[in-house]
Amino acid sequence: MGIGGGLCMLPARGAVARGGLPSAPVNMVKPPRLRNGDVLGIVAPAGFVADRFGIEEVAATVRAMGLVPRVAPHLTQRHGYLAGTDEVRARDLMSMFADDDVRGILAVRGGWGSARLLPHLDFATIRKKPKLFAGFSDNTALCLALASQGVVSIHGPNASASWPQASWESFHRVAFEGTLPTYSVPVRDGPGLGARGTGVRTFRGGKAQGRLIGGNLTVLSALVGTPFLPSFDRAILFLEDTNEAEYRIDRMLTQLALSGALDKVAGVVFGQCTRCENPDGGYSNFTLYEVLDQRFGSLGKPAFQGLMIGHVANQISVPVGIMAEMDADAGTLRLLEPAVV
């Protein structure tokens, strides 16, 4: 499975040696697209799977995609809140990258633990045999680490997601067809006049082009200062989160600002922040949109909120590491190159 035609420059921190030291900058490589009948590896890089019946449901979902599920050997192991020890989970993931019969890899679920795998992964082997990895939430750590090492992945539904038609079609367009979709903020259609129309929240208008880098805000901010976070230079940063109070969103965005990351980006797309309200409620704190407006409105870069990125039912699949164009006034994000070859 060649990588010819899938090369493009990424200003990254460079490949990370097994000892964790960065080396020279790398080129992005794109994995082969998925095809009907391909084998899809199923891994659990983070939280454990409750029982074998959950695995049977995931396998049924994969078969409905037209793919053949291959379950990692230790998928039902449990080590505290993790799906086995770090070494076991890393071995399962690397075995999928090394298996010539496996075409792509899908994470079962999030939780916590993906970042613990990063020192145990052989990124040189992964670059030699690039395969489409997909997942979101805690799997953001793997998507970002792959991007830092020059491999494109997909921030999209985990295998255990409900996979409504909109999510499946979005994934299929990116992972199977290799098309260039334009993502738009959904139109509101509530019962009242004020509840209809666009749901775009534009913090600062304008257009920008850049490489898509992002994922879950909590996980991304925790990688600041490590060699596994790709460069933000002229990137389009996309973010999402769940179950975080407004002040914690503020704290993490402030960390990104203080690190200098936000000064480097070309623009920001904030997807959905599901259940991101202080349980005290009322007027005791900033609203989420005030927090985002304060941080992005004065950034001097195009920024908007509203795409279906994150912990939502009709979640879209967004490639990590490829070029895209955003329009903050229209609330759109358009891919400029395919994520697969």
- How many Å separate Cα 41 from the centre of its chain? 18
Residue 238 CA to residue 271 CA, distance in Å, equals 7
Half-sphere exposure of 266 (CA within 13 A, CB side): 18
CA dihedral 153, 97, 109, 168 (to 10 degrees): 50
Strand partners, 40: 69, 104
Please pick, among 74, 114, 137, 246, the residue that the annotation labels catalytic: 137
Please pick, among 155, 184, 311, 317, the residue that the annotation labels catalytic: 311
User: What's the token pair of residue 299?
Assistant: 């950034």
Residue 19 CA to residue 119 CA, distance in Å, equals 7
For every residue of 156-216, DSSP letters joined together read: ---TTS---HHHHHHHHIIIII----EEEPPEEE-SSGGGEEE--EEEE--EEEEEEEEEE
Residue 145, classed as helix, strand or coil, is: helix
Please pick, among 240, 244, 246, 317, the residue that the annotation labels catalytic: 240
Active site residue 311: yes
- Residues 152, 29: contact at Cβ < 8 Å? yes
Q: Which residues contact 273 (CB under 8 A, 6 or more apart)?
A: 240, 241, 242, 244, 249, 288, 310
User: What values do phi and psi take at 124, rounded to 5?
Assistant: -65, -45
Active site residue 337: no
User: What's the token pair of residue 97?
Assistant: 């990258």
Residue 107 CA to residue 65 CA, distance in Å, equals 15
Residue 139, classed as helix, strand or coil, is: helix
Active site residue 240: yes
Active-site annotation, residues: 137, 240, 311
